[in-house]
Structure 1
Amino acid sequence: MLDFIKSTPLLISTTINHYLNGPPRPSWDLKFHTTWALYRSMFSKPSSSKTFEQMQKDSFLLAPVPADAGFEPLDPKNIVIAGASAGGGLSLALGLAIRDAGLPSCAGIIGWSPFVDLTYSTPSLSDEKCLDYLPIVKGGTNDYIESQVIKEFKEKAAVLTEKIKTQNLGPKIWHDSFDRPDGRFQFYAPNEGLAIPYVSPMLAESLGDLPPLLLIAGDDERLRDEAIYFAHRSAEPTKYKGEFGPLKEHHKKVLELEKIGIVPEFTGVN
């Protein structure tokens, strides 16, 4: 069994379909997490009676393999990470984190319509010609009715925002347009956190040295342009560097989109 697992490619699929505010369980497919819990428990604690929640609390799933476990860790070159939408963004963010930590790279990353830019800066997100069911986002979190939940959320978010402001998070792209006068743009992260590469992977200073990528997006998707731009920046990291400047009135950021065939009215790849 161990020889089979060691020599067989492993697909880790992040099946989260959207970023959200609130408990993660409703939007998670727990099959992969439960399977991994069972796989780990086979070798470390065969008679463990811990529940899934207890294992999470004890960092059971994230614990390093002990030296005396009796088996070797899986070869990263046999692991492919994949995800759709927000799951694709998380998969690519994980790839960046692995790269930045200097850890061995996985065999590849697959992103189906990856959500990699939480600033909503690319043209396809506001293109009325797109047939995607996703709506055009025009407002921030201020559009929601005030409630006790929103009040508690804002209090906790303010604490997180201060932590982000006081921490040295390393090089990241930033522009004054992230300081939105209409308040917080996303529930998922404060405005001060949108430029963190592990939040918006497309905004990383460099997208080089990642494993092989397979990024998929349709012509009429709202997430189309960010997938195309991410692919170009990863393929030619020295040519397409993150830059800011006037692009549109609602969000002044230039991504050199015209150079790779992306313009507000039409998208194509040269």
Structure 2
Amino acid sequence: MADFVKLVVPKTPLLISTTIKHYLDGPPKPSWDLKFHLAVILIRSLLKDSSTLTIEQVQRASCYSIPVLAGVMINEFKINNKYRYEAQVHLEKVLKPYEHVLDTEWKDLKDDGIISEWIQVPNDEWEKREIRKTILYLHGGGYYCCGKSSCRNNTSSLAKKVNARVLAPTNTTLEIYEEMPHVFQVMDHASTTKSYERTVEFINKVTNAIDEPLPPSSFSCINTKGEFGPLKEHHKEILKWENIGIVPSVKRELTTRRSTPELFVYTALLLAGFAYFLCY
């Protein structure tokens, strides 16, 4: 946290000048309120400065720990390495064409498991449910920064609003949505509220559907005013459903619901992504 403060405090003059310009000249876009304007300027400035920092400095500044929201709890545990070995079998097939340029170090597991955490509402009786709503949250970070502890605003909000458990593995940096305005995830904004509402709606549709495809309206973008709009072509290009193994339809047999409750894992980037895109 100290490293983060050191990065932000020098930006005070920038924040003051931006505030003055916001009221004298108006925001860059009519829909931008002051809080959003300041957040965008601050993040852009920090990203620009980070180009002169070492990876270690960026990691220290971005991997600070954030407490969960009130009414939410964390349970830490380790994911057994046997699952990582099982994954290696599949990864080796995918990476085989590139083995001549890849270091084999990725196969060497230097620890005894992946330190992870469950984010959940206390006494949620999750184990007793027929449908155990679960979100697998893979945080962003350009493959080298941020962590599960710095994303707890997002994960605890999802757990609380969706009434699901969120699984957040550490040392996971996955960035699919190149144009996603991540600023929505870390501030109280109209689009943030709408995105969580849409996430709840999306998960409920998926877990309650028997053999019904989700309507196209389930996948939409939200602008800074919190208004819904259809996905545009560049949004669809970023999502690349077929490449990441996710398609906007759900097919389940009736017998599935009657059998032992299954663990439904949803990639949180997808769940948040359809709501966080700006409409230009």
What interval of TM-score do these two structures reach, taking the shorter chain for normalisation?
under 0.3
TM-score using structure 2 length? 0.26
TM-score using structure 1 length? 0.27
* Structure with the higher strand share, 1 or 2: 2
* Structure with the higher helix share, 1 or 2: 2
